[in-house]
Structure 1
């Protein structure tokens, strides 16, 4: 009774806390009134309808994405460790040549495979079949080499190793672009019976399917990463083979895509367009600029401008490749066949590509840093006290890259809704600044690791290596710089309403070759010629 009376006295003396409690509860419930709840509910429903759909034809290609991402995380991301187990310094250089050579070859083949996809757009399943076979055979060959299955062919082991790396590069180059394009076509066909089909909705749903497969493949890679290299390679090859069998068996479920009368596109009929346009412009350098847009070959511009898009003063001379030579005895088709005349569309695409060269040149050093960071970071990871945890740092880099790309695109679109060029430029600038910080961190961590090795002679005193979490900042920064700069570059190159769909598919392949392909090649050159380069600089 005394306790109750004391509590009653405290309540009567301090009634303010009860008032504040009821006020806070009232404010909380007022935030979630009926109208606001309905608004939130219908907003969530509309978002789900826009981004999600169940399409059986898109589920099976997602299985290929799952196996592809499994191989990327469990094998390709740490591919240098395949060559460097108990390796000397000279073997490390050979390993870097193999790994970066595979990256450069994959980036180069990406361009040719995208070109083939434009030429044979009605045969995607056949091309995917060839790529799956190449990828699977590459994985199996690399696994059998470690199993010692070719021990009786020791003099041919290097040749088999090169064949396996080439097959791996071929599969990596084209599998993901083809699978994503096939998935997008199935989603477009799935929406064919509905009105107001939006490209943004198809792209959003494609992203959802891709993200789901990406997450599943990444998580399955965690237990597989701790297995031996032969088992890892053979298992991944089997998973890829099984997913392809399921993909092939689901053929009756796929939507049939109507192919145009000409099975090849304009890009396939006239390869090496840029070279042809520049050659025609040089041959027509003596011609005067036209007084009317009608003098341009296949001119379809409603603005009747005399300078073709994009209007760059230094590139205006290329417009002469599309000027019809009225005094010539040859017809328009004959002039085109002999290489003296190109269409307006070809000239515009060539000018746009040449306009991007200054931007691409700024990414050469960026690509070198990205290639070196991805290569040496994995090698540093297996020389730490917990090499089995390296997979988590690889996932940290991937998650950071995808998160920062999505978050930066969302925030910049809110802050600068109409300035798309400014959004992409800000992402590129931020990525370049992060790359400078990343290079400093990479140097500092490697310096710390070298000092640790010098202080402890591991040959006699055993392994007392540094913690693997020393490498976490550099993996985080590599993901940041990749997610900001690379996605900014992609938006900068393809975010133009004048570009055709085929050109938007082709430009990301060139971006990959400039950054990954040339960057990996420069990394090989610097590794093999570092002493000579330093002597020249000093």
Structure 2
């Protein structure tokens, strides 16, 4: 192997800060530790979140709509905090130390949650057989929510960094390694769903049949294992150097543009300011080619007479083309990003209304006395993902490659669009099922039955369809935001993609609030009452289906107008 081929060319370093050796670090050698960390972390997350709506309802004694909103708000926060972790990772700590420190916060939160569900004086007081009629004091509820929001903070440093950190193990400058990177995203999502599979089956059953202390304690142990798994691979990891504050660089472009708002941009773009070296002035980033979109911001790179280039440049007055293109890259991503919010709203129904819908159905497994926890039906979403990931990677990609000529079979934007289309049918399936269920309730006067004689397994199609949509949309989104992000802002862009899930949860909460307020006028029970036999959650599902159709149309428009970034030069 030539000396030039010994080390990576993407600027990565090993754990000692030396250039990363290709033979000793990265690729699939390092990935098992990262995938193991993600599998255990997702087991911990889904182990508590999948059934959380029932914990709020049965143990904290919250009404259905309140419990649903609280879960949506907490889940949304779990996808907003990644902006904090991403900023620290890209700017100062790097992805390795961000994952490490925030994982420890996560373990502390999980431990406190376990104590709040199992220790007398901290857990809700219950009366009656089977711990019924539970009531939580203000302090007990406060401890529970403190634990949950510590977990939300902890996950904020893990979510935006783990997928990017795994992708960092493949050298962009090496054609063979770059091709393997696309497969990494598929198997990364596969590992997420292995953790989710265990959570939605075994852990949900333990919570419903053994106790919440054990139900939360096992995920806490899983999270501790995730931390150990991550640290075990330290010597094998390739690490990107943090590039300094991305928010500062973006602010500098905006300020410099405003200061030069009356300056005319030259027709010859080679006259715009850029460093003469082949390397970018931004640590951990390649130079970016100039693009013709959003030309107003090019003013920040126009050389004015007051700019003393031979001396030290004032970055608040003059920015490089690469710095301007960083901002343009983020702005170009925003329309694509916005179309993910409705998809996330649909996805979020699995942990709220799908669970409440399943609770009203026959949860017995055949004729046996064994009862299936309603939240466990999400196992079919997980099985769907586990089924579709290898099918997509091994069958769909090679077939699509023959027709499209694209190395990945489908472009990331095409893949995401297919996911949005498929997700519509999940809401249609859920609405039709609820329509049939309510007809049975009215025909046989089952209004007061806790479980009507209709098998919960009729929910399987809506879960399976969402799983298929995830494989296309979420994995495509992960890869798209990583590839289209500026090199020194990849954690930030991964976090940006995750905020669609947060906003989807908040939108779900907002829609529930609006719908409840409007539909409960004049003494009506509304669409989502405590007893769903008197409600109409099918209307809510039809509403989401209609919004999904409009969202798909908007996505097709913005994706056709999207311009891909063009990176040049080498990393610094």
Pairwise same-fold verdict (TM > 0.5): yes
Name 2:122's counterpart in structure 1: 150
Kept in 2: contact 1:366–1:519 (CA 8 A)? yes
Change over 3 Å in CA distance of 1:436–1:471 after alignment to 2:
same
Name 2:379's counterpart in structure 1: 395
Is residue 522 of structure 1 aligned with residue 501 of structure 2? no
Q: CA deviation at 1:437?
A: 2.3
Cα deviation digits, residues 97-117 of structure 1 (max 9, x gap): 321112221211112212212
- Between 1:99-108 and 1:73-82, the stretch displaced more is 73-82
Instruction: Provide the rounded CA distance (Å) in 2 between the counterparts of 1:525 and 1:245.
Output: 39
Cα deviation digits, residues 67-112 of structure 1 (max 9, x gap): 2132244322333222123787x62222223211122212111122
Q: CA deviation at 1:256?
A: 7.3
Q: Which structure 2 segments of 5+ residues have no match?
A: 1-25, 126-135, 279-287, 364-370, 522-542, 544-572
Pairs aligned (count): 461
Is residue 265 of structure 1 aligned with residue 232 of structure 2? no
Kept in 2: contact 1:63–1:213 (CA 8 A)? no
Kept in 2: contact 1:373–1:442 (CA 8 A)? no
Name 1:4's counterpart in structure 2: none
Name 1:502's counterpart in structure 2: 488
Change over 3 Å in CA distance of 1:105–1:501 after alignment to 2:
same
Alignment of 1:323-342 (within 5 A): 323-327=302-306, 333=312, 335-336=314-315, 339-342=316-319
Q: CA deviation at 1:384?
A: 2.6
Instruction: Provide the rounded CA distance (Å) in 1 between the counterparts of 2:268 and 2:450.
Output: 81
Cα deviation digits, residues 140-181 of structure 1 (max 9, x gap): 333333334426993322322221221221233332554455
Instruction: Provide the rounded CA distance (Å) in 2 between the counterparts of 1:218 and 1:411.
Output: 29
Is residue 382 of structure 1 aligned with residue 322 of structure 2? no
* Correspondent of 1:472 among 460, 485, 490: 460
Kept in 1: contact 2:37–2:229 (CA 8 A)? no
Name 2:290's counterpart in structure 1: 309
Name 1:215's counterpart in structure 2: 194
* Correspondent of 2:326 among 337, 349, 365: 349
Please state whether the residue corresponding to 1:466 is helix, strand or coil. strand
* Correspondent of 1:360 among 337, 361, 384: 337
Instruction: Provide the rounded CA distance (Å) in 1 between the counterparts of 2:420 and 2:188.
Output: 31
Cα deviation digits, residues 277-296 of structure 1 (max 9, x gap): 23322321211122544542
Name 1:281's counterpart in structure 2: 257
Name 1:297's counterpart in structure 2: 273
Instruction: Provide the rounded CA distance (Å) in 2 between the counterparts of 1:93 and 1:500.
Output: 41
Q: CA deviation at 1:358?
A: 2.8
Q: CA deviation at 1:474?
A: 1.0
TM-score of the pair, normalised by structure 1: 0.72
Q: Which structure 1 segments of 5+ residues have no match?
A: 1-51, 190-194
Cα deviation digits, residues 307-356 of structure 1 (max 9, x gap): 963322xx1111111112124579774532xx232221121121122223
Alignment of 1:30-69 (within 5 A): 55=29, 59-69=32-42
* Correspondent of 2:72 among 96, 100, 110: 100
Is residue 83 of structure 1 aligned with residue 62 of structure 2? no
Kept in 2: contact 1:324–1:332 (CA 8 A)? no
Instruction: Provide the rounded CA distance (Å) in 1 between the counterparts of 2:448 and 2:86.
Output: 54
Q: CA deviation at 1:233?
A: 0.3
Q: CA deviation at 1:134?
A: 2.4
Kept in 2: contact 1:60–1:247 (CA 8 A)? yes
Name 1:29's counterpart in structure 2: none
Kept in 2: contact 1:132–1:175 (CA 8 A)? yes
Name 1:34's counterpart in structure 2: none
TM-score of the pair, normalised by structure 2: 0.68
Kept in 1: contact 2:190–2:385 (CA 8 A)? no
Is residue 225 of structure 1 aligned with residue 204 of structure 2? yes
Kept in 2: contact 1:383–1:465 (CA 8 A)? no
Q: CA deviation at 1:468?
A: 0.9
Please state whether the residue corresponding to 1:227 is helix, strand or coil. helix
Please state whether the residue corresponding to 1:297 is helix, strand or coil. coil
Is residue 198 of structure 1 aligned with residue 159 of structure 2? no
Change over 3 Å in CA distance of 1:160–1:289 after alignment to 2:
same
* Correspondent of 1:318 among 287, 292, 297: 297
Name 1:161's counterpart in structure 2: 144
Structure ranking higher in helix proportion? 1
Please state whether the residue corresponding to 1:395 is helix, strand or coil. helix
Change over 3 Å in CA distance of 1:61–1:477 after alignment to 2:
closer
Kept in 1: contact 2:105–2:151 (CA 8 A)? yes
Change over 3 Å in CA distance of 1:75–1:332 after alignment to 2:
farther
Instruction: Provide the rounded CA distance (Å) in 1 between the counterparts of 2:72 and 2:473.
Output: 21
Change over 3 Å in CA distance of 1:534–1:421 after alignment to 2:
farther
Alignment of 1:424-443 (within 5 A): 424-443=412-431
Alignment of 1:444-483 (within 5 A): 444-454=432-442, 463-483=451-471
Name 1:17's counterpart in structure 2: none
Kept in 2: contact 1:103–1:517 (CA 8 A)? yes
Change over 3 Å in CA distance of 1:329–1:404 after alignment to 2:
same
Alignment of 1:401-440 (within 5 A): 401=385, 403-404=387-388, 407=392, 408-418=396-406, 423-440=411-428
- Between 1:416-425 and 1:520-529, the stretch displaced more is 416-425
Instruction: Provide the rounded CA distance (Å) in 2 between the counterparts of 1:453 and 1:300.
Output: 74
Change over 3 Å in CA distance of 1:448–1:113 after alignment to 2:
same
Instruction: Provide the rounded CA distance (Å) in 1 between the counterparts of 2:237 and 2:27.
Output: 19
Instruction: Provide the rounded CA distance (Å) in 1 between the counterparts of 2:167 and 2:340.
Output: 30
Instruction: Provide the rounded CA distance (Å) in 2 between the counterparts of 1:535 and 1:379.
Output: 19
Kept in 1: contact 2:385–2:470 (CA 8 A)? yes
Q: CA deviation at 1:487?
A: 3.3
